[in-house]
Amino acid sequence: MSAVLTIDPTACDAYGYCAELLPELVGLDEWGYPVVGGEPVPAELVARAEQAARHCPRRAIRVRTRVEVRSSASRP
């Protein structure tokens, strides 16, 4: 189980608060939209990641807890 950052690109309006609050994990592209890697959020940054998510005016950035997801190929 690990935490990862996801950005809903349909919700994001490039306010950029996430990059201000969490520069270790969020960069901005040349148009001001956030770029995140897919790597797990280090334990010491989880609290700040959640803070960044709370401060997003568009609620576009989230900290998701990734569990072992069954692939869609598996039968119900």
Partner 1 sequence: MTATTPAATTPAATVAAATATATNPAAGRPTLLSGWRASGRSDLAAHVAHYGPLPPLHGDFPRRLVAAVEAAGLVGKGGAGFPSAIKLQSLPRTRSRPTLVVNAMEGEPASAKDHVLLSLLPHLVLDGAQLAAVAVGARQVVVCVADDRDELAAGVATAVAERQRTSQLPVPTTVARPPGRYVGGEESALVGWLERGRGVPAFRPERGVPLALDRAPALVHNAETMAHVALLAREAAGASSTADPEALAADRTTLVTVSGAVARPGVLEVPLGTPIADIVAMATPQGPPVAVLVGGFGGSWLGAGALGTPLRKDTLGAVGAAPGAGVLVVLGSQACGLAETARIARYMAGESAGQCGPCVFGLPAIADDLDLLVAGRGGAAIELRLTGRLALVAGRGACRHPDGVVRMVASALDAFEDDLRRHAAGRPCGHSRRRTVVPLPPA
**What residues line the site for partner 1 (CB under 8 A)?**
6, 8-14, 29-33, 35, 64, 69-73, 75-76
Amino acid in the structure at residue 30: E
Answer for the pair 15, 57: CB distance below 8 angstroms, yes or no: yes
Q: Which two tokens stand for residue 50?
A: 């959640």
**Smallest distance from partner 1 to CB 72, Å:** 4
**Smallest distance from partner 1 to CB 9, Å:** 4
**Residue nearer to partner 1 on the CB measure, 54 or 59:** 59
Task: Give the start-end residues of each E strand in the chain.
Answer: 2-7, 26-28, 34-36, 61-66
**Residue nearer to partner 1 on the CB measure, 31 or 44:** 31
Cα first-last separation, the chain: 22
**Smallest distance from partner 1 to CB 15, Å:** 11
**Residue nearer to partner 1 on the CB measure, 14 or 47:** 14
